[in-house]
């Protein structure tokens, strides 16, 4: 453990929370244009990297262990309890299937990009061409979580696959490098709406029907009462406790000599499943679950950044991974376009579906507001479906790469 100026668990936790609070305050107070391209998430991750490598906070702390063991499962439950699949289908119709097809494109694209990266990591005159980082299948699984659901799935997959701080850092860097190009494409495609809709054979009246369904959907949420907060806490902590107990007794699953479901993986799978079960009960009507969940996950991202030792990073390998990420996003785009043609959906739905995958709940409303402001609530519902399936599919992507790489 490095000698740090702030070493107590309470002090370390205060620093992490302070970092999160500072960057969101700065974004809101200044409205700097840089935040349109680099969201606070990047700075929330990067700042603790500098603080730990600079000696202010340690690389290891009981606060980090607490957040990993309890904070992440609680976040998953709180986020998934609000999933409303039927609500999204009522508004977006077949657009939900386009989004799920895009998720499939992320899985298959990730596996292909991993295979391609492994194939290109050859030695030529003693120099590796486009080398991938060690255990890069963990990074592919981590980024798949982000590209299917969002930041929460990224951190959940990272934990389930046993990733390091370097792995999450490379995944986050690739995520932003790709999205700087992908987001303008999702926004700009609105200009080609008529030509795209003719190509996709979109039925007349589809957009009007979506807007009518969106107006009928009630997304209003009241401020929580004291008892509702207690119920919410009981739900999240109770499911976490049960999942931890079960993950400790369930046996690991192996293929040959390779363990593909460890205790950490079991924990993420269990809390995800129990959270989805809770979403079909009256618990879904409990308010304030999402804001609390988002506060937890941003502190968790700061925690991962604090564990990253810059002296151990292979920057050349990071470039190799980012190169494969561009191949990966192209495959996702092909799946999204195929879904648009098969299901005959409009360009607005296609853009929102892809944003719900690649950008998650943070970016899908931005794309929806640009295309059709009335579809903003539906975009959030669609992104939550990504949260629902993201943990399963991201772990699948990572483990498939692990088996593929031997």
pLDDT tens, position by position, 365-404: 878 888 887 787 788 888 888 888 999 999 999 999 999 8
What is residue 135's DSSP assignment?
Answer: T
Say what the pLDDT of residue 125 is: 43
In angstroms and rounded to an integer, the radius of gyration of the C-alpha atoms of the chain is 21
DSSP state of 164: -
The residues pairing with 123 across neighbouring beta strands, listed in sequence order, are: 128
Give the residue-averaged pLDDT of 60-72.
92
128 band by pLDDT with thresholds 50, 70 and 90: low
Interatomic CA distance for residues 59 and 3, integer angstroms: 9
Residue 164: per-residue pLDDT: 85
pLDDT-derived band at 332, boundaries 50, 70, 90: very high
pLDDT for 82 beyond 90: no
User: Which has the closest alpha carbon to 394: 238, 160, 185?
Assistant: 160
Closest CA to 324 of 164, 186, 154, 173: 173
**273 vs 179 pLDDT, higher one:** 273
Whether pLDDT at 198 is above 50: yes
Backbone angles phi, psi at 229, to 5 degrees: -65, -40
User: What is the C-alpha separation between 385 and 220, in angstroms, rounded?
Assistant: 19
Flag whether pLDDT at 168 surpasses 50.
Answer: yes
The pLDDT score that the predictor gives to residue 87 is 79
- Name the band, by pLDDT with cuts 50, 70 and 90, for residue 127: low
The CA distance from 71 to 141, in Å, is 20
Closest by Cα among 105, 91, 3 to 55? 3
Q: What pLDDT is stored for residue 129 in this prediction? A: 58
pLDDT digits (tens, 9 = 90+) for 272-313: 999 999 988 999 889 989 889 888 988 988 998 898 887 777
Residue 220 DSSP one-character state = -
Helix (H, G, I), strand (E, B) or coil at 254: strand
DSSP 389: H
């Amino acid at each position: 453990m490095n000698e740090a100026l702030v070493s107590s668990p309470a002090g370390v936790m205060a620093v992490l929370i302070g970092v999160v609070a500072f960057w969101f305050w700065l974004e809101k107070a200044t409205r700097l244009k840089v935040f349109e391209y680099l969201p606070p998430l990047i700075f929330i991750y990067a700042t603790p990297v500098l603080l730990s490598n600079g000696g202010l906070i340690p690389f290891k702390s009981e606060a980090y262990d607490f957040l990993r063991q309890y904070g992440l499962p609680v976040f998953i439950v709180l986020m998934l309890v609000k999933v409303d699949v039927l609500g999204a289908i009522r508004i977006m119709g077949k657009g939900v299937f386009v989004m799920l097809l895009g998720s499939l494109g992320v899985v298959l694209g990730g596996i292909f990009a991993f295979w391609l990266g492994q194939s290109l990591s050859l030695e030529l005159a003693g120099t590796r061409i486009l080398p991938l980082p060690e255990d890069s299948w963990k990074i592919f699984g981590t980024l798949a979580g982000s590209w299917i659901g969002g930041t929460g799935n990224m951190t959940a997959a990272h934990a389930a696959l046993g990733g390091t701080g370097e792995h999450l850092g490379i995944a986050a860097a690739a995520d932003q490098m790709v999205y700087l190009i992908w987001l303008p494409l999702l926004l700009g495609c609105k200009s080609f709406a008529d030509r795209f809709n003719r190509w996709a054979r979109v039925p007349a009246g589809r957009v009007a029907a979506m807007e009518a369904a969106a107006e009928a959907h009630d997304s209003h949420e009241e401020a929580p009462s004291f008892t509702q907060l207690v119920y919410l806490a009981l739900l999240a902590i109770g499911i976490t406790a049960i999942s931890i107990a079960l993950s400790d007794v369930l046996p690991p699953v192996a293929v040959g000599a390779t363990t593909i479901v460890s205790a950490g993986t079991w924990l993420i799978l269990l809390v995800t499943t129990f959270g989805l079960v809770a979403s079909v009960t009256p618990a879904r009507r409990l308010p304030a679950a999402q804001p609390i969940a988002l506060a937890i996950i941003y502190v968790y991202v700061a925690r991962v950044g604090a564990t990253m030792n810059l002296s151990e990073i292979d920057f050349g390998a990071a470039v190799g991974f980012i190169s494969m990420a561009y191949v990966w996003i192209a495959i996702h785009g092909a799946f999204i376009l195929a879904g648009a043609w098969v299901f005959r959906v409009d360009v607005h739905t296609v853009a929102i579906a892809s944003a719900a995958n690649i950008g998650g709940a943070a970016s899908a409303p931005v794309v929806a507001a640009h295309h059709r402001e009335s579809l903003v609530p539906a975009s959030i519902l669609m992104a939550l479906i990504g949260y629902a399936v993201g943990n399963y599919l991201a772990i699948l992507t990572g483990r498939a790469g692990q088996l593929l790489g031997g």
